[in-house]
Structure 1
Amino acid sequence: MIKQADATLPRDPATEEAAIAAWLERELGCSEVTIRRMHRWRPIYEAEAVRDGKRERYFLKGERTWPTHPYPLKYECDVQRVLSQSGIRVPEIVAWIPDPATIVMEWVEGGRDAGLIQQAIESGSQMTPDRWHASLTYMDRLAEVHAIPVERFVAAGAEAPSDNADLMLANFERFDAMGRDAGISDPFLVFMGDWLRRKCPQNLAGSAFLTGDCGQFLSDGPEVTCLMDFEIGHIGDPMRDLSCYRGRHPIENMGDLPALFERYAKSSGTPIDWHGMAFHTVAFLTEAYYGPLIGLHDEGPGGDWVESFVQVAIIGRRALEALAEMEGIALDEIALPEPEQTPLEDLALARLSAEISRLPDHDQMQGWQRKVLGSLPQMLANIGHYSRWRDDSYLADIAELTGKACGGVADADQSLQGFIANAGPQDDAALVRILHRKLLRDCLIIAGPNASADHIALAKIEPVLHLAKEARAG
């Protein structure tokens, strides 16, 4: 659970968009400015304006409404400039708007997945032959990024690691500090943080500036048009970037992962450290758990509560699967029971869904925003059909582990955290199984009854350590 952090000033999207338009007119000499918010998990806009007699399109990135990563937006702007100056094809930075904090970039043509799990559940994520060709090329571009002297990024604000633990885990430690600042108290994060610090391996692949959330690029046909999204770029182990592919696939279809890793090794001249990549997969997914967990408690405009709930369940479960592979821990398979009958709640939530569907269109309520809002009563109905099973099973797990009955889920979380604080490595397997079952129950609720084994909400992490054995045998 989260203890609410100090209240922040409310942000009004319409006011911020008006301020951005006014800045573009005043500082860049633009006229006829229009701004349209895009369906992303952060404030992302497409802007059009007339500048120097020509109609231009811009891509705008704004500050998130709640903490999802520990780096300021200005930092992303600065390191992206370094990448551009180093010959990497990224969107050109047109301007930095200090208030409201916004990066103004050139508009680059090309396509990609939106990166939202709910969209992947609804419509799938496809790997076309053209996108696959571009994905292979991206690995060449990634090798070029990793070859840039890290001193250039240090000059732009990146922190230089001081020792092996810093090189391998500094990014996680920044996320963990962000979580503590937000008042996070969560058994999963307590356990994972302890495990990552105990199991931190020796770096074998050197250091480089990392994209941080690797695999994000636009493509047009088979061509890569630009690399993008460096908001958590930092100096670390190159295997950390490759681990993102394991973390994202197949929710975002990344294609044949071993073939991509082989292409990177050939382009970079860096042999793949499979165990290092396996460790970084656990770290990457644990870091990715913080933002949506905080998002569950955010009350600011423009959030997506259901996406946060879905990400917490799926990302956390897959992090534990990656850990279990490293430790050789067998995980449990469970199934949804028959749904509980909640007729009154179903009627009320159906009425709320109907009212949301009738909300009129306007600048701050586009169709996709109405859909985000409408997903709330739908998900609450789904959870309600299995809430007793979900909660009672967790309480039984904690009672069996600790020998003490708990009065509710919050008490069980506290009891579990107390157990973890005094646990040793001999308790890892039991704790992994309990945490995995807890998150798997939510994944099953998300997938719904009679879901296929390949449902995205149930997609398992792709194993990787067998490739280390094959490499040694070869």
Structure 2
Amino acid sequence: MTEPTHDLPEGLLPWVASLGPGHISRLERHVARREAWVVDITRGDGSVLEGFLRLDREPAAARNVSLQREAAICRALTATDVPVPELLGWSDTYHAALFSRVPGSADLPGVDDPQRQRRIMEDFIGAIARLHCLDLDSLELDEILGARPSTPAEAALGDLDAQLQAFAAFLKHYQDPLLGYGAGWLRRFAPRQIARVSLVQGDTGPVNFLFEGDRVSAVVDWEWGHWGDPMEDLGNICVREFWNPSGGLSGLFERYEQLSGIPYTRAAAQYYRIQQNVRGMIPIHAACSQPGLRESMAWYLSYRYVGDRSTCEALGDAMNVAVEAPPMPDTSSDHSVLLAAASATLQRDVLPALDSPFARSRLNDARVLVACAEREQRYGEAVRAACCEDIGRLLRRQTRGYERATGQLMEAIAEGRVADEPLIQLLARKAYREEWLYQPAAALYPERRWAALD
């Protein structure tokens, strides 16, 4: 085998090969938001171990989301009737996990037959119902997941608080009124009662499970797993169905209630889809501030601006507040010939010549970033000026400078000086404008809308 190009830590591949044991006969970077590699290990008898390698290059001991957590949960669930990839090995040295490569597809939105799509979602909701009914003591996960929540508020807010703590240094100097208002809103409206504490996946729904035929072959991506309110996962399903439309949600949560015996309420789903959006947007906003990000900045920009807009729409739905997009700027600064030329060159001349799927994906990311930079140069000042005008009207004080106006809005939110309805409407107008401004990235997830809740 030709030695593949990679920048994996020295010593990691010999550890992977030892799990066969054998020699690595295939090593390919997987096109995914978080770093992953497809690995084949050929044993001495000619058999092949098909693996999926994940690693966490910058592990943080206090972080509530981790690959180590995912590995431990998969190990614990292997003996249950919840289908998960088998954990083949975990390395404390490299903070790496090798999982079995489960057959199946994650592309539920790509299934053309709506009836088959529905059958798959019904099988999936059955797996989640079984997950939420598991005996927690038998899983032996308290050491890695920590103490179980003792109150409904702890169940609803524990993971949010952990996220706020993990990103405290970033948030100290980062001004975002939607994140600030969203966190406060979640505290004010936290559920007062829950049916039980369960192991929840924390990021579950379409594309985070594999299927073959009409059946789920594995539920994947457990790094957000924790003890919590089972309704949280139903909110997660709403969010993932938003990003990956899979036939809607009608009747699915009633089916969940029938299978699990755990009562479903529409209000709980409304609350937890906001909860996942707010806590999920914190690391996404942080990633969008890192110039040296190893992962796809284009995808993070899409998650951020489409996600912020969807958060505002979910808040409006939960609070019975009508939100709508404002007019977009009809004037702009001169466009950049250099940025436009760079984008055209990448799209026309370079992208078609690449053979590696990963390299093609990253080059397309670069094209999107250049296109976003070109729009930022043309329209950014007009968008920020419109946001300043909105803030001035709400606070009844006009302030020059976007950062200063945003800071004043943050102070007003923290002090409770603005009413929910006009504030949600302002945040929505801001989100609609920014999604439009970063349209080349937002177009990676075009026309995303919330599925109706029963």
- Verify: 1:347 aligned to 2:335, yes or no: no
- Verify: 1:141 aligned to 2:127, yes or no: yes
1:105: Cα distance to partner? 0.6
1:242 to 231, 234, 245: 234
- Verify: 1:77 aligned to 2:85, yes or no: no
1:303 to 252, 271, 295: 295
**CA distance, structure 2, for counterparts of residue 281 and residue 306 of structure 1:** 23
**CA distance, structure 2, for counterparts of residue 380 and residue 125 of structure 1:** 35
Give yes or no for contact 1:125–1:252 (8 Å, CA) kept in 2: no
Q: 1:217 to 1:39 in 2, by over 3 A?
A: same
* Aligned residue number for residue 434 of structure 2: 442
* Aligned residue number for residue 162 of structure 2: 174
- Verify: 1:158 aligned to 2:124, yes or no: no
Question: SS of the counterpart of 1:157?
Answer: helix
**CA distance, structure 1, for counterparts of residue 306 and residue 10 of structure 2:** 37
1:247: Cα distance to partner? 1.4
**CA distance, structure 2, for counterparts of residue 354 and residue 20 of structure 1:** 37
**CA distance, structure 1, for counterparts of residue 413 and residue 103 of structure 2:** 49
2:403 to 392, 402, 410: 410
**CA distance, structure 1, for counterparts of residue 243 and residue 19 of structure 2:** 41
* Aligned residue number for residue 289 of structure 1: 281
Per-residue CA distance 1:376-434 (angstroms, 9 max, x = gap): 1012223333223311111111222233333432222212111112125x611122111
Q: Which amino acid aligns with 1:423?
A: G
Q: Which amino acid aligns with 2:345?
A: A
Which consecutive residues of structure 2, in runs of 5 or more, have no partner in the other structure? none
Q: Which amino acid aligns with 2:288?
A: L
Q: 1:33 to 1:99 in 2, by over 3 A?
A: farther
Q: Comparing 248-257 with 434-443, which one deviates more in the overlay?
A: 248-257
* Aligned residue number for residue 421 of structure 1: 414
Give TM-score, length-normalised by structure 1. 0.84
- Verify: 1:112 aligned to 2:102, yes or no: no
Per-residue CA distance 1:362-386 (angstroms, 9 max, x = gap): 9896221221222210122233332
1:17: Cα distance to partner? 5.8
* Aligned residue number for residue 374 of structure 2: 381
Q: 1:211 to 1:55 in 2, by over 3 A?
A: same
Q: 1:348 to 1:440 in 2, by over 3 A?
A: closer
Q: How many residues align?
A: 439
Q: 1:66 to 1:315 in 2, by over 3 A?
A: farther
1:104: Cα distance to partner? 0.3
* Aligned residue number for residue 57 of structure 1: 50
1:458: Cα distance to partner? 4.6
Give yes or no for contact 1:329–1:429 (8 Å, CA) kept in 2: yes
* Aligned residue number for residue 207 of structure 1: 197
1:191 to 175, 181, 201: 181
Give yes or no for contact 1:248–1:254 (8 Å, CA) kept in 2: no
2:224 to 232, 236, 243: 232
Which consecutive residues of structure 1, in runs of 5 or more, have no partner in the other structure? 1-12, 115-119, 468-474
Q: 1:19 to 1:38 in 2, by over 3 A?
A: same
1:218: Cα distance to partner? 0.4
1:438: Cα distance to partner? 0.8
Q: Which amino acid aligns with 1:203?
A: Q
Q: Comparing 171-180 with 357-366, which one deviates more in the overlay?
A: 357-366
**CA distance, structure 2, for counterparts of residue 20 and residue 292 of structure 1:** 28
Give yes or no for contact 1:321–1:460 (8 Å, CA) kept in 2: no
* Aligned residue number for residue 88 of structure 2: 94
**CA distance, structure 2, for counterparts of residue 457 and residue 438 of structure 1:** 18
1:236: Cα distance to partner? 1.0
Q: 1:133 to 1:251 in 2, by over 3 A?
A: same
**CA distance, structure 1, for counterparts of residue 373 and residue 59 of structure 2:** 22
1:242: Cα distance to partner? 0.6
**CA distance, structure 1, for counterparts of residue 395 and residue 142 of structure 2:** 50
* Aligned residue number for residue 262 of structure 2: 270
Q: 1:430 to 1:128 in 2, by over 3 A?
A: same
Q: 1:32 to 1:278 in 2, by over 3 A?
A: closer
1:131 to 105, 117, 130: 117
Q: 1:335 to 1:462 in 2, by over 3 A?
A: farther
**CA distance, structure 1, for counterparts of residue 24 and residue 263 of structure 2:** 52
1:26: Cα distance to partner? 4.4
Give yes or no for contact 1:212–1:233 (8 Å, CA) kept in 2: yes
1:196: Cα distance to partner? 0.9
Q: 1:62 to 1:335 in 2, by over 3 A?
A: farther
Q: 1:97 to 1:299 in 2, by over 3 A?
A: farther
Question: SS of the counterpart of 2:145?
Answer: coil
- Verify: 1:317 aligned to 2:309, yes or no: yes
How much identity, in percent, do the aligned residues show? 20
Q: Which amino acid aligns with 2:162?
A: R
Q: 1:25 to 1:156 in 2, by over 3 A?
A: same
**CA distance, structure 2, for counterparts of residue 271 and residue 88 of structure 1:** 20
Q: 1:222 to 1:362 in 2, by over 3 A?
A: closer
1:177: Cα distance to partner? 1.5
Give yes or no for contact 2:380–2:437 (8 Å, CA) kept in 1: no
Give yes or no for contact 1:42–1:65 (8 Å, CA) kept in 2: no
